[in-house]
Chain A
């Protein structure tokens, strides 16, 4: 059995996440990916914003930076540019990254700076009590959408692709092995890499949307997830109510800190 203890801060357990929350599953997948790649705990920094997912750094025994709401990518940009030798992982949520932090999200992707972003998408503001987020589906119920949400949601992966990220993948906490592979690929990518992780929130989302039982939310994930390969062969009719997981974009393009290193080299006075 995999030994997680080397990577966690045992003194901070039990964690704050509710029963049935997917966040712990992402944490374990991340730890296994880090271990497989042999990432040095001393040379890895995890930066987060505010929200349930953003509490992840407290549990991981690396350099951890829990920042202000929405700003994790801004802080992470400073860490990475100041010391490009550090591996920088950003943990954020749908509200943190695409509402209050939306500007930082698109610009970090555009800049193509070498950050690995794990964005836990649970379609809701969990920590503050179930208010609707930019990814809450139209018609779904939230504590600030008690008559049903009127707004159309963001497609987070699509947003990152359009903004210029070099690696974009979507995973989910039901298909854990696949999630682990996607996180591993994102960690290895030199450039802005996003893994959007669809993760259930039975407490704040499920209870308001006829899915109070965590198992029911997991079953729903199982039944609605389609691999990108299969997705390509499906008709629009078959795609209805489903979403695809896998690698959605993987290209090579100039990475910011590498370009900056070249600039410094060019500016160096002749010996």
Chain B
């Protein structure tokens, strides 16, 4: 993040930056359930939303919070919930519903250690595959990540924009370190922030089909109460929104749910690259671990080891093209992450066996210090 960008400078933790980003994106409905280490997002929004005429509600459980934001989203509101590992597991049922019914909403997961209740106050990145495959059934998924309070602010806004554009639940994965680190955030002027709103139908209610098949593959759902009366269901449905058992309609629907993300991959995926041009060792790192990796690239270069960094901002859809490009340049790839190789697996697949992929997994609730990654890179060299 550069110091010369215009905006107001503030100090805040990642979780507060998330709340600020949500408000800037136009979020006016939040439903949540207390869980460490994400609760500050709910706490901040419980203060901010009523001041703006928005709605905050603490629900009775995680499933209810997820259900409530879907209900609110169907009235046209931009809606969000926030949680951590165990709560993310509980929300999967209705995240799948939002995917199937194509209801835009944002789910923030401030990752802590698992399995089960695991490590409530310590960081991890163990939910990255759950974000992709946590709910049953086939569909495309968008999941973003952030490594700082600044990026959390920006990525929360982007999560809303992508949700509205592609009519889908969007997941933002940060970890406990990012959520709880207080640091500088530059809040841009509202006029400098790109905000996307979902499309409104341009036909009259008589001719309206909520899930009309178009080349864009993205439906246009009118807010409830605006004269377009239609049905929303988690069952397989046809263009009308009513359940169907027609094999052709079902095949079309499920393929479209995946295609509508795949076909826009190049729009969605964003990566940062650091000194990859001449790199012999490539590092693939995301979230708070990417900050370690940035330092390590410089440390290794001082030692004469040519290291470069590929840092994905979007974990799903997976940046396979960028990984493949890196695999053609480097001699080996190292994937440091706070799990036992969940993304290293994807990196291996995407690199198509061009180069060895080395895992560096840490799961004891501690961050990966630069020295540990440097040692791993020396070992690989």
Contact = CB atoms under 8 A, between A and B. Distances in A.
Interface in A225-271: 260, 263-264, 267, 269
Interface string B49-88: 0110101010111011111111111111101000000000
A82 interface: yes
A82 B230 contact: no
Given A63-B224, A63-B229, A74-B63, A264 B68 contact: no
A47 interface: yes
Nearest to B65: A74
A41 B226 CA distance: 11
Interface string A55-68: 00110011111111
B93 interface: yes
A78 B229 contact: no
A42 B224 CA distance: 8
Contact of B68 (A65, A78, A260, A269): A78
A42 B241 CA distance: 17
Interface in B300-355: none
Describe B's contact surface by its main secondary structure.
mixed
A71 B94 contact: yes
A210 B95 CA distance: 43
A208 interface: no
Interface string A73-100: 1111111111101100000000000000
B130 interface: no
A103 interface: yes
B96 to A, nearest CB: 8
B234 A66 contact: yes
A77 B50 contact: no
B234 A264 contact: no
Contacts of B208: none
A1 to B, nearest CB: 24
B31 interface: yes
Contacts of A264: 50, 53
A87 to B, nearest CB: 10
Nearest to B93: A68
Contacts of B227: 42
Interface string B198-235: 00000000000000000000000001111101111111
A65 B59 CA distance: 20
Contact of A68 (B51, B75, B234): B234
Given A66-B233, A68-B67, A74 B75 contact: no
A254 to B, nearest CB: 15
A223 interface: no
Contacts of A86: 75, 224-225
A77 B61 contact: no
A76 B69 CA distance: 10
A45 B225 contact: yes
Contacts of A62: 229
A113 to B, nearest CB: 9
Contact of A64 (B61, B71, B232): B232
B226 to A, nearest CB: 8
A167 B66 CA distance: 27
B356 interface: no
B284 interface: no
A20 B53 CA distance: 49
Nearest to A48: B233
Among B65, B67, B93, the most chain A Cβ lie within 10 Å of the Cβ of B67
Interface in A2-54: 9, 12, 41-43, 45, 47
Among B64, B230, B243, the most chain A Cβ lie within 10 Å of the Cβ of B64
Interface residues of A, number: 41
Interface size, B (range): 35 or more
B242 interface: yes
Given A42-B227, A68-B94, A103-B60, A78 B71 contact: yes
Contacts of B233: 58, 65-66
A54 B233 CA distance: 11
Given A78-B72, A267-B51, A71 B63 contact: yes
Given A81-B72, A82-B55, A83-B75, A66 B232 contact: yes
B190 to A, nearest CB: 17
Among B79, B94, B224, the most chain A Cβ lie within 10 Å of the Cβ of B224
A106 B231 CA distance: 27
A185 to B, nearest CB: 24
B97 interface: yes
Nearest to A45: B224
B64 A103 contact: yes
Given A12-B242, A77-B64, A64 B231 contact: yes
A108 B98 CA distance: 22
Nearest to B31: A78
Given A77-B68, A78-B72, A103-B64, A58 B243 contact: yes
B71 A43 contact: no
Contact of A75 (B57, B70, B230): B70
B160 interface: no
A98 B68 CA distance: 18
Interface of B: 29, 31, 50-51, 53, 55, 57, 59-61, 63-77, 79, 93-94, 97, 223-227, 229-235, 242-243
Given A65-B74, A75-B71, A267-B50, 17 more contacts: A43-B225, A45-B224, A67-B97, A71-B67, A74-B59, A74-B63, A74-B64, A74-B71, A78-B31, A79-B75, A82-B55, A82-B75, A83-B75, A83-B225, A107-B59, A107-B64, A264-B50
> Which 5 A-B residue pairs are closest in the complex by CB-CB distance?
A78-B71, A74-B67, A78-B68, A82-B72, A74-B64
9 contacts: A12-B242, A66-B235, A68-B94, A71-B67, A75-B70, A75-B71, A83-B75, A107-B59, A267-B50
